[in-house]
């Protein structure tokens, strides 16, 4: 049976064999740059592993694997432009390197390229597969809009349920979609599609909540970035939202003040004061419990699938790796 390492190497091979430079070069160079920057390639790996889980033929899903990762990178490219993020994977983002217009148009083209890859392979379930991909794409856009809306709201205006829905749309549904598409090509049943989809959604929630947690409590050496950035950005992540629910009236008041502050407060002083409230509340444990619920729920859905345990192993390994429970 194939290991996680095998699927990761297959994904690398698929990308290495593909050409992304065409004419006009001004359009395709930023696309090639983006798709060759790497990243963890989680979504195509999930797609290949889910396809194998249900007994699919790997050759049939190479296009879909390329397509799902190309789509994901398109959303990152446009998100970086909208969020004005200068760096992605330690390298300059497309808009900083080539300008806004190139970022817009090369992104649009990447969305179309994703479709080209998806359309390479005929399948009796093509309509269903493409609808799954496209409805996922629409939900991702809706999630990004919700995220942008939250930026213009105060901390107490953002509802915890709305936040969970936002991260579900922005992160979970694409993991779930990748798994379901792999399963669809393999001829999975409705029940199998439901289970593998739920596995992906809860894994995505656990992963995103953990990303939120690491911003406050991550080991900079492992995490790869400075902690507290969400606090500096007034980002309404799960941390301040849960802190607001569990804090005393005084702590709530102080959090609201701190998360409304713009430039009238020293940034490090702000991080320090917010973290002090988090610690006093015991926020880390509270968030870890939320993550654990999602992680265990994901695991239950994977357990429920009738398939040889050895075929589930790569997905379990990816899950552990993603959650940092395994090196």
Q: Which residues contact a second copy by CB under 8 A?
A: 22-24, 26-27, 78, 81-82, 100-101, 104-105, 107-109, 111-113, 115-116, 119, 122, 126-127, 130-131, 134-135, 137-138, 141-142, 144-146, 148-149
DSSP codes, 283-318: HHHHHHHHHHHHHHHHHHHHHHS-S-HHHHHHHHHH
Terminal C-alpha separation, the chain: 21
Residues 6 or more apart whose CB falls under 8 angstroms from that of 54 comprise 182, 183, 186, 187, 188, 192, 307
Closest CB to a second copy among residues 95, 217: 95
Closest CB to a second copy among residues 90, 124: 124
Nearest-angstrom CA–CA distance, 76 and 175: 15
* Shortest separation between residue 146's beta carbon and a second copy, angstroms: 6
Closest CB to a second copy among residues 118, 301: 118
- Rg (Cα) of the chain, in Å, rounded? 20
What's the sign of the alpha-carbon dihedral 54, 58, 59, 63? positive
Specify the 3-state DSSP secondary structure of 92: strand
Nearest-angstrom CA–CA distance, 219 and 222: 5
* Shortest separation between residue 29's beta carbon and a second copy, angstroms: 11
The single-letter DSSP state of residue 91 is E
Closest CB to a second copy among residues 145, 229: 145
Closest CB to a second copy among residues 101, 264: 101
Closest CB to a second copy among residues 105, 286: 105
* Shortest separation between residue 154's beta carbon and a second copy, angstroms: 17
Phi-psi region of 276 (alpha: psi -120 to 50; beta: other; left: phi over 0): alpha
CA angle 232/288/169 to nearest 5° reads 70
* Shortest separation between residue 195's beta carbon and a second copy, angstroms: 24
**Distance, CA of 194 to chain centre:** 20
* Shortest separation between residue 137's beta carbon and a second copy, angstroms: 5
Q: Distance of CA 20 to CAs 3, 152, 173, 180, Å? A: 28, 37, 26, 26
* Shortest separation between residue 231's beta carbon and a second copy, angstroms: 23
Closest CB to a second copy among residues 187, 324: 187
* Shortest separation between residue 13's beta carbon and a second copy, angstroms: 24
Closest CB to a second copy among residues 54, 74: 74
* Shortest separation between residue 295's beta carbon and a second copy, angstroms: 28
Specify the 3-state DSSP secondary structure of 18: coil
């Amino acid at each position: 049976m194939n290991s996680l390492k095998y699927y990761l190497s297959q994904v690398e091979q698929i990308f290495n064999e593909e050409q992304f430079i065409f004419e006009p070069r001004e359009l395709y160079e930023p696309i090639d740059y983006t798709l060759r920057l790497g990243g963890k390639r989680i979504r195509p790996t999930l797609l290949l592993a889910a396809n194998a889980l249900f007994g699919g033929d790997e050759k049939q899903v190479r296009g879909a694997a390329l397509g799902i990762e190309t789509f994901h990178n398109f959303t990152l490219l446009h998100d970086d432009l909208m969020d004005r993020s200068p760096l992605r994977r330690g390298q300059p983002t497309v808009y900083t390197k080539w300008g806004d217009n190139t970022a817009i148009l090369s992104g649009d083209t990447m969305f179309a390229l994703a479709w080209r890859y998806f359309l390479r392979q005929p399948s009796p379930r093509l309509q269903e597969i493409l609808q799954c991909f496209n409805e996922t794409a629409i939900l991702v856009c809706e999630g990004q809009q919700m995220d942008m809306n939250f930026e213009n709201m105060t901390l107490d205006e953002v509802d915890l349920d709305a936040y969970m829905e936002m991260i579900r749309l922005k992160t979970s549904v694409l993991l779930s979609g990748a798994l379901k598409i792999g399963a669809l090509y393999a001829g999975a049943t409705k029940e199998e599609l439901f289970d593998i989809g739920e596995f992906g959604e809860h894994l995505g929630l656990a992963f995103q909540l953990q990303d939120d947690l690491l911003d406050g409590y991550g080991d900079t050496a492992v995490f790869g970035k400075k902690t507290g950035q969400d606090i500096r950005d007034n980002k309404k992540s799960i941390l301040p939202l849960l802190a607001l629910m569990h804090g005393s009236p005084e702590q709530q008041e102080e959090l609201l003040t701190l998360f409304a502050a713009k430039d009238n407060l020293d940034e490090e002083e702000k991080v320090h004061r917010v973290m002090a409230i988090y610690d006093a509340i015991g926020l880390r444990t509270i968030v870890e419990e939320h993550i654990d619920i999602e992680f265990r729920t994901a695991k239950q859905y994977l357990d429920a699938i009738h398939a040889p345990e050895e075929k589930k192993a790569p997905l379990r390994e990816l899950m552990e790796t993603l959650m940092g429970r395994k090196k």
